Amino acid sequence: MQMSDLFYFFLIRQKSHTSNKFISYLREILSKLFRSDKPLNYFQMKKTILTSLITAALVYNNYAQIVIEPCYFDNYQRQNKVYVEKAEKNISNAIRNIVEYKNHSAVIKIIPVVVHVIHNSGTENISDSQIQSQITVLNEDFRKIAGTAGDGNGVDTEIEFCLAKKTPDGKCSNGIVRIQSSLTNHLTYQRAQLKNLSYWDNTRYLNMYIVKTINGTSGILGYSSYPGGPPDEDGIVVRHDYFGRNEYNNEKDYDGSWGIWDEEFLQYTSNTINNKPQPFFATVFTLTSHHPYPIPERYKNQFKDGALPIEKSIGYSDYALKKFFDSAKKMPWFYKTLFVLAADHTGVSADPFYTNKIGNYSIPIIYYMPNSQLKGLDSTITQQIDIMPSILDYLNYPSPYFAFGTSVFDTTAQHFALIFRSDLFQLIENNYVLQFDGDKANDLFHYSTDSLLKNDLFNKEPKISSGMENKVKAIIQTYQQSLINNKMH
């Protein structure tokens, strides 16, 4: 089979409702800071609001520390240490004043927003409705509005956002400014140039900039300046395709908790793929089988209850998948597509095996291609990082590539799985699982005959324990060195 003849479709579970695209993670601390009826102007509020859109990863070894930075925020913090320390001091002072104001009546703080759309007549010139949808999302989340995705953990911050009604000089406005410029292909060191294109007084407005890309193909979705920083770097910069929530554009299909119902979203996915050029690579995340495990009202009596609430929603998700494949098989790309279905984690279970340190990570991975030899069950140990090499192997991909995983189709490979959680590494190989705490191995179990991990064989099987421990160390060392030397490609 030629590589160009095969398309790839990856199904895990649908990304959560797009309200999560652009939300500050400090809802709870903000609520504490602003639970006061003491008047605050916008400049004062900005000094206490910490907005961070992206996180950075730190990789260490025994001899060097390397900072892996997928975003500009971390670099900004180092370059503007004085501003950062000042802002942190302001936040600390505000926290100390919580007690003084906590019993006062609440006053809603409204932050006027101006959205600067920097475009070059492309898709980055997003619609007014998409912009408004993001403001709606912010308010749902910051106000913890019932019946929306914002009604989860956390509290009502008593902060609202609105598109500015007046320009700085008092003219009527919809709070949206559109500027045509090649700077829509944004580089983070050009931050001040965005202000030169368009800027409203940052003591009166929150400036948001929409751009096409950030640092090319770096993967950066957005970043913000630190509150209280230089005015020419103040505000938030976001990629156009991660602002707003109207890609799907039908609120009626929202499940009230996570996002779009599986059935509707999978049908949308099938139709969307059909309009893409071939060959394609597509990924979709489904979500209905998540707490509180809802199903559409019209199917309330169609799926049987089980021992656990999740079982009924699983029945619905299975049905949604069936409907997807019923539609997909009518598409011209169906018989040339490799479908990979995998879970990103296990669900709740009444079986004690799925609550221990191995069962908690036991998931199925399904490779399916119509009219192919991919049939039956295979008990080969595999993991999610095997998906890429498995697909490339199936494609007969001829060039070298970097991967920690192995192809499930390679009968000569030594298959294994490595798990890391709560400072514990677990290597699964040849029916054994070794537990390694980062310094030394401590436990060894023969999980195929001891699925509940009751009989520790670490001292009884020293050769196996030593060999598996060395393999874990080698994987960790290879990973760290590959990151440090930029060899993970």
Distance, C-alpha 135 to centroid of its chain: 20
Residue 50 in this model has a pLDDT that exceeds 50:
no
Mean pLDDT confidence for 9-34? 40
**How large is the average pLDDT for residues 127-139?**
93
Residue with tokens 């390679």: 410
Q: If you average pLDDT over each of 1-15, 50-64, 286-300, which comes out highest? A: 286-300
Q: What is the CATH number of the domain that holds 439?
A: 3.30.1120.10
Position 167 pLDDT exceeds 70: yes
**Residues 319-367: pLDDT tens digits?**
999 999 999 999 999 999 999 999 988 888 888 888 888 888 999 999 9
Q: Given pLDDT bands bounded at 50, 70 and 90, which one contains residue 374?
A: very high
Pairing of strands 365-368, 417-421: unpaired
* Residue 101's CATH number: 3.40.390
Residue 283 belongs to a domain: no
pLDDT in the model for residue 232: 73
Amino acid 427 reads L
Task: Give me the phi and psi of 436, to 5 degrees please.
Answer: -130, 125
Q: Which of these three, 221, 242, 263, is where a domain ends?
A: 242
CA–CA separation, 352 vs 220, rounded Å?
41
Residue at 391 is within a domain: no
- Partners of 161 in the β-ladder: 111
- 359 domain residue, yes or no: no
- Structural domains of the chain, count: 2
Model confidence at 91: pLDDT above 90? no
Please tell me the least confidently modeled range out of 18-32, 56-70, 111-125: 56-70
pLDDT attached to residue 72: 53
In a domain, residue 334? The reply is no
Q: Residue 49 pLDDT more than 70?
A: no
> Mean pLDDT of all residues in the chain?
82
| Residue 1 belongs to a domain | no
The confidence score (pLDDT) of residue 430 equals: 94
Residue range 111-131: mean pLDDT, rounded = 95
Q: How far apart are CA 47 and CA 94, in angstroms?
A: 10
Lowest mean pLDDT segment, chosen from 12-16, 396-400, 420-424, 447-451: 12-16
Last residue in a domain, options 222, 242, 262: 242
266 found inside a domain: no
pLDDT of amino acid 104: 56
Query: At a CB cut-off of 8 Å and minimum separation 6, what does 295 contact?
Result: 288, 303, 312, 313, 316
* Residue 337 maps to a domain: no
The predicted pLDDT at position 77 comes to 63
pLDDT exceeds cutoff 50 at 118: yes
pLDDT greater than 50 at residue 62: no
The Cα-based distances of 226 to 23, 74, 83, 161, 239 in angstroms read 16, 10, 8, 19, 18
**Three-state helix/strand/coil letters over the chain:** CCHHHCEEEEECCCCCCHHHHHCCCCHHHHHHHHCCCCCCCHHHHHHHCCCCCCCCEEEECCCCEEEECCCCHHHHHHHCHHHHHHHHHHHHHHHHCHHHHCCCCCCCEEEEEEEEEEECCCCCCCCHHHHHHHHHHHHHHHCCCCCCCCCCCCCCCCEEEEECCECCCCCECCCEEEEECHHHEECHHHHHHHHHHCCCCCCCCEEEEEECEECCCCCCCEEECCCCCCHHHCCEEEEHHHCCCCCCCCHHHECCCCCECHHHHHHHHHHHHHCCCCCCEEEECCCCCCCCCCCCHHHCCCCCCCCCCHHHHHHHHHHHHHHHHHHHCCCCCHHHEEEEEECCCCCCCCCHHHHCCCHHHCCCEEEECCCCCCCCCCCCCCCHHHHHHHHHHHCCCCCCCCCCCCCCCCCCCCCCEEEEECCEEEEEECCEEEEECCCCEEEEEECCCCCCCCCCCCCCCHHHHHHHHHHHHHHHHHHHHHHHCCCCC
476: Cβ contacts below 8 Å, ≥ 6 apart: 425
410-460 pLDDT tens trace: 999 999 999 998 889 999 999 999 999 999 999 999 999 999 999 999 999
Lowest mean pLDDT among 21-30, 277-286, 389-398: 21-30
* 429 within domain boundaries: yes
Tens of pLDDT, residues 325-338: 999 999 999 999 99
* Domain encompassing residue 160: 21-242
- Those residues with Cβ within 8 angstroms of residue 368's Cβ, 6 or more apart along the chain or in another chain: 338, 339, 340, 341, 374
**Domain's final residue, options 242, 277, 310:** 242
**Which tens digits make up the pLDDT trace of 196-211?**
999 999 889 999 999 9
Banded pLDDT at 36 (limits 50, 70, 90):
very low
Residue 20's pLDDT is: 41
Instruction: Decide: 154 and 143 in contact? Cβ < 8 Å.
Output: no
